[in-house]
A and B are shown apart, each in its own frame.
Chain A
Amino acid sequence: MHIVICIKQVPDSAQIRVHPVTNTIMRQGVPTIINPYDLFALEEALRLRDAYGGEVTVLSMGPPMAEDSLRKALGYGADRAVLLTDRYFAGSDTLATSFALSQAIAKVGETFGPPDIVFTGKQTIDGDTAQVGPGIAKRLDLQQLTYVAKIGSIDLGAREIEVERRCEGGTQMLKSRLPCLITVLEGTNEIRRGSFEDALCAARSQIVKWTAVAAGIEDLTRCGLRGSPTVVKRVFAPTARAEKAEQIETAEKTLRDAADELIAAIFTRQPPLEHELAFNNGA
């Protein structure tokens, strides 16, 4: 079984600060990580390979330094890493990104064998759109299985797969066909610690690097800013509210008095609420 998994190197957004005056992102010194959601997908891919045999190819589109993330993925045990890197990709929105990745996946298929499953994470933590996975599926005509919490049986002979997919209010049990694209939900599995051998291999492995042309992309106008129908017009900080919270003083007061005072203040601002709450309590 050949599994391709797409990962993205992202800034650790927990550590991002916004410049208070210019409203720009201060990236200096912000470490980059593999998009955390992608790690669940990677682990799922590795488990399937371990269970069914085959190979896992990790693919990333990004600047040359995204190589770090690919090397990390090799350290977890992926068999091969491909980096799609070219200045033509700069400024890609989700449509342009899914175009480039789908072309690269097609090329991976030609070069290393067609994939049975393409994995992506549920979404990225910097873009948060959850759109790239569906975009790739559509372009490559793969069955699209998003928000998958569990992969059940795979019948490689019959080319069938069963998955559990989270949806509003419950879980859907689906039976589909290979090849498919699966976006994996967080918390589906525990991410392994790579073995010592894997770490050694990762350090020595050659990462396949493709430019747009090398990946077989002929129409460069479909990549990057030029291939992106969406345009960011304005970036700004959320407006601060004019007044700060009205404070309930606590000095020289019992907790009981402070609580009564807070409740009085709540019901002064929201008078009907008192009756609703009392009513809800069956009082």
Chain B
Amino acid sequence: MSTANREPARPAAGRAGIKKELPDRFKDYRHVWVFIELERGQVHPVSFELLGEGRKLADKLGVQLAGVVLGPPGEATWYAVAEAFAYGADLVYIAEAPLLADYRNEPFTKVMTDLVDTHKPEILLLGATTLGRDLAGSVATTLQTGLTADCTELDVDTDGSLAATRPTFGGSLLCTIYTLNYRPQMATVRARVMPMPQRTDKPVGRIIQHKVSLAEDEIVTKVLGFLPDSQSAKANLAYADVVVAGGLGLGAAENLQLVKNLARAIGAEHGCSRPLVQKGWMPADRQIGQTGKTIRPKLYIAAGISGAIQHRVGVEGADLIVAINTDPTAPIFDFAHLGIVTDAIRFLPALTEAFTRRLSPHSRDKLAS
């Protein structure tokens, strides 16, 4: 068993959850780390969002913020290092090796746990992407430490512990979770839950290179190929500035065209609530909410969506939420900023038309004069 050499997870003494003095072997664990997710030459934006959050935690703790970049030798990997500095890292650990070119669990887990064992961070944050979740689970198990998934809020407690808050029971409740007696304290956070920090002009910092002591023939799983999603627009939903979404209130699959028309008229992405995916009216990657995408647009227009908690958690980060719903008591009006109680099927075409009129060049000239 690969974890046999570790001490079993066991509280320092007595019942778990009661903070005892941190075991001696963890006493020199310090600093906040953010895993910089690099896949096929691209840094996932969630890594920058995490650097923003990590900065706050590191400042509160009075420690340094480090980025961890694992990738193939070459420009893209070093670009990720520079970007980590630009988004606030004080130092970056970099491990370069050809076998880190495409994500695979085995080498990434090995290198990451080596890094943790060598440099001992007290907090380790990863994006809750497919890659981040795959990696975080194995790293935490190897290190025999706690891992809190899909956090929506991170903070440092008065005694310096990481307080990781996440939705539970399908999003109906939130809970705050601690990893008191183990290090590092690990958490994953979904894309778009934390705001994107300002990019700064601080493109330098300390770089610590880590030698990868692993050969390709020691790795069992091989990558045979990669098929990119044909509709790359799908991936943009989480990062769109304006999103229009439809819910069950639209009544029929055809009526989704009304949502798409409005989206097209204002250059928005379109999305939906979960039942529409379950009915097969929209593909799963258009779903917004707890089990779909978290969005953070400047404007979110929800048509015929009741605003169940699982939907709410995915849209709460929007700057301006507009709800169109026939039911004045629909929960969405509790968190929307602007609401209109009306039939979305009739109203959406009128809204599309009104937007087009208002945004047309002619009216823009009027606006400027």
Contact = CB atoms under 8 A, between A and B. Distances in A.
Interface of A: 11, 13-14, 16-18, 23, 25, 93-96, 98-99, 125-135, 137-141, 143-147, 162, 164-177, 186-187, 219, 221-222, 225-238, 240-241, 244-248, 250, 255-256, 258-260, 262-263, 265-266, 269-270, 273-274, 276-278, 280-281, 283
B350 A255 contact: yes
B2 A231 contact: no
B354 A256 contact: yes
B144 interface: yes
A263 B334 contact: no
Contacts of A165: 130
B175 A232 contact: yes
Given A94-B137, A128-B168, A262-B351, 20 more contacts: A25-B169, A128-B167, A131-B133, A138-B2, A138-B3, A139-B3, A141-B1, A147-B130, A168-B131, A169-B42, A172-B102, A172-B226, A173-B223, A225-B16, A229-B180, A230-B178, A241-B334, A247-B339, A258-B347, A259-B355
Interface stretch (B85-93, B204-212, B227-235): B227-235
B360 interface: yes
B177 A230 contact: yes
A27 to B, nearest CB: 10
Contacts of B221: 143, 145, 174-177
A247 B323 CA distance: 9
Given A138-B142, A146-B134, A283 B299 contact: no
Nearest to A135: B141
Interface string B173-201: 11111111110000000000000000000
Nearest to A270: B320
Which range holds the interface residue count of chain B?
35 or more
Contacts of A229: 9, 16, 144-146, 179-182
Contacts of B17: 225, 231-233
A173 B339 contact: no
A16 B323 contact: no
A262 B309 CA distance: 25
Interface in B58-97: none
A248 B265 CA distance: 22
A133 to B, nearest CB: 7
A118 to B, nearest CB: 14
Given A222-B8, A281-B359, A245 B141 contact: no
Contact of B220 (A25, A172, A176): A176
B10 A128 contact: no
Contacts of A240: 334
B226 A170 contact: yes
A114 to B, nearest CB: 14
Contacts of A176: 220-222
Contacts of A166: 130
B347 A255 contact: yes
Contacts of B313: 238
Contacts of A133: 137
B261 interface: no
Given A166-B130, A256-B350, A245 B338 contact: yes
Contact of A174 (B148, B223, B361): B223
A95 B146 contact: yes
Nearest to A269: B320
A65 B35 CA distance: 41
For A18, A94, A128, A246, which residue has the most chain B Cβ atoms within 10 angstroms?
A128
B333 interface: yes
A176 B105 CA distance: 11
Contacts of B336: 245
Contacts of B137: 94, 130-135, 138
Closest 3 CB pairs of A and B: A134-B137, A13-B170, A245-B339
